[in-house]
Amino acid sequence: MFLPLLERHVPINPTISHSASWSSSLANSFPSGDLETDSDQLSGMHTSFSEILKEKSLKPSRRSLPCLAQSQTHPINLNHFLSVPLSPEPKPEAEGLSQSISTSCSLLPPQTEDAKDQYVEESEVTPCETKADESFPLKKPVTRAKLEARTDSLQGKNPAASSGLFFRNGKKRIDYILVYKKSSPQVEKRCTFEKNLRAEGLMLEKEPSLTNNDIMFVKVHAPWDTLCKYAEQMNIRMPFRKKCYFTDWKSKTLGSRFHLRCRQLKSWLPRNPMKLDKEALPDLEETDCYTAPFSRARMHHFTINNRESFFSNSTRSRIVHHVLQRTKYEDGKLKMGINRLLGNNTYEAAFPPHEGGYKSRHPIKTHGAQNHRHLLYERWARWGMWYKYQPLDLIRRYFGEKIGLYFAWLGWYTGMLIPAALVGVFVFLYGLFTMDSSQVSKEICEANTTIMCPMCEDTCEPWTLSDSCVYAKVTHLFDNGGTVFFAIFMAIWATVFLEFWKRRRAELTYDWDLIDWEEEEEELRPQFEAKYSRVERVNPISCKPEPFQPFSDKLSRLMVSVSGIFFMISLVLTAVFAVVVFRLIAMEKFASFNWDFVKKNWQFATSGTGVCINFMIIMSLNVVYEKVAYLLTNLEHPRTESEWENSFSLKMFLFQFVNLNSSTFYIAFFLGRFAGRPGKYNKLFNRWRLEECHPSGCLIDLCLQMGVIMFFKQIWNNFMELGYPLLQNWWSRRKMKRLGGGGQNVENKAQLPQWDKDWNLQPMNAHGLVDEYLEMVLQFGFTTIFVAAFPLAPLLALLNNIIEIRLDAYKFVTQWRRPLPARATDIGIWHGILEGIGVLAVITNAFVIAITSDYIPRFVYAFKYGPCMDKGHHHEDECLRGYMNSSLSVFDMKEMKYSSQFRYCRYRDYRAPPWSSVPYEFTLQFWHVLAARLAFIIVFEHLVYGIKSFIAYLIPDIPKGLCDRMRREKYLMQEMMYEAELEHLQKERKKNGRRYHHEWP
């Protein structure tokens, strides 16, 4: 009788989705014997859905959304942190006295049972503080000895409070920590801010630092009513009360039986050592949960078995941060937010606390994990776990979706580098095995009578071509027949990597319940508000007046910023020009060196020293670029934090990309192209001859440049990421131990409460994940753009990323304060940058093969001028006989009055001999090679772009199975909503004896 009523009055919420793990198979979610039964039952779901709920419970599949209220599989010792017996939260009115005791602006006498253990602030009493609670008498400050006695007694009575995760009563969880200095003059702002925080429903308690007398901690707790209020405002999705497993609606077909047999066969195979044991991570085994935006009016629909664990720690911190950002500290619509208070030094820091220590005296296998931080350290951040998959669900739960997506992307990128590294190693090994048998290398090593022209005009002498035998063999390692294949492979690999990442991202957003999540309207940056507070415009989203930046002002600031970018790029080009001049000077010095070893290997000496100088310039300019990018971004006055981050990220990428690759572009496309010829060399400043390529090509110089910069840059970055925080934390501990008058001498760090330990850690850098993404994106560009010249680049990137994952994990878990758990659905602007790098990689690799490599000249000679010209296809070495002689021109040294016993010398070019009718003019072979190079560039680019586009079209962004699953579960949710509301109305009717016709809120 209620069904027509519901159809008429109860709207369906289409935004409700199901947080489910795509990694679990459909048939895995329940026993095979229940497939037919439930399949038949679901066929009549639209008539009676309650029958399904009454049937035997099916085996749930693993879910990634935290349903802590229902999970009974926490590690040992974890229940102490995650669950507290269910008890109704006292109302704020009833706890008025206790709230007043814990404020940071009032010094009140104890009013509770454990009043003797309450701490009274040891600081000066300002008029604002006295006025805030003038009805209560102030108590005299206690001495340090009494404080230590009270602290010891408190730790003995209540171990929960001594852990640093709760208030002094051991019941209220600490959701956020504010830190300020007693000597700070901003007392009135802090007083007003904390009074307004209490008005918003937060509870505050103050605690002194045990390591510094000037530091005071303000512990913030969000009661149940406050959490519910702001969870509804922020549209936070929470587990729905009713459970319904995602059942298989398909009948038993040949396909399903085949998949069942495949799973059985897979179960017999040895276990993948890279997977984490479920026993090692029992906290990830969770029940199935449907989620919906939280609503206090529909509280009865949500699963609330335990109020303390219903909202996870990361959700609680996010809610408190939301309140902190929107609480005023002065009268005025712009005087609000913890960010502005941190900027004017009212507070020194604000951060959510870690869940405890990351180490334990007892092994995790026998005693379990103490908390999620300990679990992350043991199963993720330790170096011994380098070969294991990452526990992304646990990372996401502890650090938030934004950081979880970064590690998911980094893991996906590292996994995709495995096939690229293998193919690169095969190409390198092919060059290694054919190095001695290469026809070009043989001819160079056997050219004992081929006299090459001097490298300088004053002190240099002619040299034989066979002197560069080693140089020619090393060149063949990277410039061989597999170069073209590897360049095409890497261009396609970049496309496949990005397309499959889109699919992986879609699965993660589904698993983490982010499909229907939309970014809430961001608050304005305080700097933007202060700058443009006089001009206002109605926001079309919130329909509220807000500061507005005029278009003319925005354009002028953008032009200044763009001018600054071009100026810095010109500075990079100036540095590259300085390196070029150094190479020219070093070339002459090494070519005329007295030591025969250096004189014979002047090419290696010139390239090696040039690369080292260039690397030092790169690392020095990076420090300048960060400050300039920060200055230019602030000059633009971005409206929101996300706009600021995107603008800063783009500038940092442009600066560092140009800085890192400018010298590489010079070597690849300009080195040896404008050197001229003997007798008519082009000189820089009429003094130094421009550098020439080796007779075997310039590719070895490019390879050396990439190898040295990539290797040393990765070592430097890893050292700075791990070494700098370790040194800073070591110095903080050292100062803590030898404090004379600054605080107590804490001998054992384990005795410190959690807020003191977190305060002594390093904060996450102000740029967030910009530095982490920037390092990996630059590496991606280095790996793909010039990969034709250095096939070992994917291998070096793979080895570095294996270390990078554990290094970043160790840094986040042990060396940094816990960052705010932020939400995100993708990696932001970096995806567009990666796609741009993929397009640029196709162009650069085409030019590297056509211009830098000797592949095209050898190809033209083999099929146009070599011995195989009219004999069809033969072995490559046979067709290349005489290639070196064909690629070297002749010069008459008497024209330059060289004092040498030889009259003629050879140089690398396609020019007519001096006895020709047109001496030193380009030959027909030169124009054939040039035409072949241009044709190769056009064909290569169109072919690779066509393959890339076709692959991108074939790979959908969202897997079809995932789309079907999402639609199916939305349908089930609609049926469940009807059933849940019907049951609620029936209960209300039985309770009150009358019918309810009200609509859903």
**342-351: pLDDT as tens digits:** 888 889 999 9
pLDDT score at 88: 41
Least confident of 533-547, 590-604, 611-625, 880-894: 590-604
Report the amino acid identity of residue 139: K
Tokens of 765: 């850098």
- The residue with greater pLDDT, 349 or 123, is 349
pLDDT score at 10: 34
Reply yes or no on whether the pLDDT at 516 is more than 80. no
Choose the most confident range, by mean pLDDT, from 473-487, 676-690, 783-797. Answer: 783-797
- The residue with greater pLDDT, 712 or 750, is 712
3-state secondary structure of 143: coil
- What is the DSSP code (8-state) at residue 903? S
Report the amino acid identity of residue 113: E
Reply yes or no on whether the pLDDT at 224 is more than 70. yes
Choose the most confident range, by mean pLDDT, from 181-185, 724-728, 872-876. Answer: 181-185
- What is the DSSP code (8-state) at residue 49? S
106-111 contacts: CB < 8 A, separation 24 or more? 106/132, 106/133, 106/136, 107/138, 107/139, 108/133, 108/136, 108/138, 108/139, 109/136, 109/137, 109/139
Torsion of CA 522, 527, 529, 531, to 10 degrees: -150
3-state secondary structure of 640: strand
What are the tens digits of pLDDT across the range 943-977?
998 988 898 888 888 888 888 877 877 777 777 76
Reply yes or no on whether the pLDDT at 777 is more than 80. yes
CA distance 740 to 939: 74
- The residue with greater pLDDT, 676 or 65, is 676
Identify the CA nearest to 816 among candidates 752, 715, 728, 717: 728
- What is the DSSP code (8-state) at residue 865? I
Reply yes or no on whether the pLDDT at 67 is more than 60. no
Please state, as a whole number, how many other Cβ atoms lie within 10 Å of the Cβ of residue 79: 13
φ/ψ of residue 562, rounded to 5: -65, -40
Reply yes or no on whether the pLDDT at 411 is more than 90. yes
Report the amino acid identity of residue 154: L
pLDDT score at 881: 86
Reply yes or no on whether the pLDDT at 995 is more than 60. no
φ/ψ of residue 166, rounded to 5: -135, 165
What share of the chain has pLDDT > 70, as a percent? 72
With both helix axes pointing from N to C terminus, report the angle between 401-433 and 469-478 in degrees, rounded to the nearest 10. Answer: 130
Using pLDDT thresholds of 50, 70 and 90, give the confidence band for residue 415: very high
- The residue with greater pLDDT, 349 or 71, is 349
Span 898-918, average pLDDT? 83
Domain ranges of the chain: 163-235+305-353
Reply yes or no on whether the pLDDT at 159 is more than 80. no
pLDDT score at 501: 93
Whether the CB-CB separation of 350 and 337 falls below 8 Å is answered with no
- The residue with greater pLDDT, 6 or 872, is 872
Q: What is the mean pLDDT of the chain?
A: 74
CA distance 145 to 545: 54
Task: Tell me the C-alpha to C-alpha distance, in Å, between residue 799 and each of 386, 387, 714, 966.
Answer: 11, 11, 10, 38
Reply yes or no on whether the pLDDT at 287 is more than 90. no
With both helix axes pointing from N to C terminus, report the angle between 602-636 and 551-591 in degrees, rounded to the nearest 10. Answer: 170
Whether the CB-CB separation of 693 and 607 falls below 8 Å is answered with no
Using pLDDT thresholds of 50, 70 and 90, give the confidence band for residue 593: low
Tokens of 766: 């102000």
3-state secondary structure of 67: coil
Reply yes or no on whether the pLDDT at 567 is more than 70. yes
Write the burial class of residue 337 (CB in 10 Å: 0-12 exposed, 13-18 middle, 19+ buried): buried
CA distance 960 to 507: 11
CA distance 662 to 979: 65
Identify the CA nearest to 197 among candidates 348, 319, 91, 349: 319
- The residue with greater pLDDT, 835 or 144, is 835
DSSP code per residue over 576-634: HHHHHHHHHHHHHHHHT-SSHHHHHTHHHHHHHHHHHHHHHHHHHHHHHHHHHHHHHHH
pLDDT score at 735: 66
Tokens of 64: 């990634």
pLDDT score at 813: 92
Reply yes or no on whether the pLDDT at 743 is more than 50. no
Report the amino acid identity of residue 330: E
pLDDT score at 897: 66
Span 197-224, average pLDDT? 90
Using pLDDT thresholds of 50, 70 and 90, give the confidence band for residue 251: very low
Identify the CA nearest to 851 among candidates 936, 773, 910: 936
CA atoms within 13 Å, Cβ hemisphere of 793: 28
Using pLDDT thresholds of 50, 70 and 90, give the confidence band for residue 523: low
3-state secondary structure of 351: strand
Span 743-756, average pLDDT? 65
Least confident of 111-125, 354-368, 770-784: 111-125
pLDDT score at 799: 92
Span 774-788, average pLDDT? 89
Alpha helices in 326-459 (DSSP H): 338-343, 364-367, 372-376, 392-399, 401-433, 439-445
At a CB cut-off of 8 Å and minimum separation 6, what does 684 contact? 580, 581, 584, 690
Using pLDDT thresholds of 50, 70 and 90, give the confidence band for residue 121: very low
391-394 contacts: CB < 8 A, separation 24 or more? 391/276, 391/281, 391/284, 392/64, 392/508, 393/64, 393/284, 393/511, 394/281, 394/283, 394/284
Span 854-868, average pLDDT? 85
Using pLDDT thresholds of 50, 70 and 90, give the confidence band for residue 932: very high
φ/ψ of residue 180, rounded to 5: -145, 165
pLDDT score at 280: 67
CA distance 676 to 909: 9
CA distance 345 to 193: 14
pLDDT score at 894: 79
pLDDT score at 319: 92
pLDDT score at 740: 44
Least confident of 83-87, 172-176, 975-979: 83-87
pLDDT score at 520: 57
Annotate 113-129 with b (16+ C-beta within 10 A) or e (fewer): eeeebbbbbbbeeeebb
Whole-model pTM: value is 0.78
Least confident of 194-208, 356-370, 921-935: 356-370
- Secondary structure of 441-474 in the HEC alphabet? HHHHHCCCCCEECCCCCCCCCCEEHHHHHHHHHH
CA distance 319 to 401: 15
At a CB cut-off of 8 Å and minimum separation 6, what does 368 contact? 75, 76, 77, 78
Reply yes or no on whether the pLDDT at 142 is more than 50. no
What are the tens digits of pLDDT across the range 672-719?
777 778 878 777 777 777 777 766 667 777 887 788 887 877 787 777
Whether the CB-CB separation of 476 and 457 falls below 8 Å is answered with no
